[in-house]
Amino acid sequence: MTKRKTKNQEIKIEEAQPKSKAWGITALAVSTLSILLFMLPYFGLPLAIFSLVAAGVQKPKNGFSTAGLVVGILSTIINAVTLLILLLVLLFAY
């Protein structure tokens, strides 16, 4: 906040913080990409976790960050189940 003085008056001017949607858009894009890569859980699972972090970083919350969070949770579950199935198949295949 900055203050300006003019002839016996003090005016307080609040500097507006830009409301960026960058983290929310990033969360949505990365979580969508991780769903597309669910057959490669070694790539999809870290992307899904990153999307959850990116959605959590977004301040103030908006539609993009909420959508990124929901899709990130779904992609984390899908990738974790795929990884579990892959590990079970590799463990019991021999």
Q: List pLDDT tens digits, range 34-87.
A: 999 988 888 999 999 999 999 999 888 899 999 999 999 999 999 999 999 999
Strand 9-13 to 2-6 pairing = antiparallel
Higher local confidence (pLDDT), 88 or 12: 88
Contacts of 6 (CB under 8 A, 6+ apart): none
Q: How far apart are CA 58 and CA 38, in angstroms?
A: 25
Q: Give the Cα separation of 18 and 2 in Å (integer).
A: 16
pLDDT at 10 over 70: no
The whole-number average pLDDT for the span 17-40 is 88
Please, which residues have CB within 8 angstroms of residue 66's CB and are 6 or more apart in sequence?
Answer: 24, 55
How far is the CA of 84 from the CAs of 23, 43, 44, 47, in angstroms?
29, 14, 13, 17
Name the pLDDT band for 17 (thresholds 50, 70, 90): low
| CA pair distance 83, 54, nearest whole angstrom | 22
Q: Does residue 16 carry a pLDDT above 60? A: no
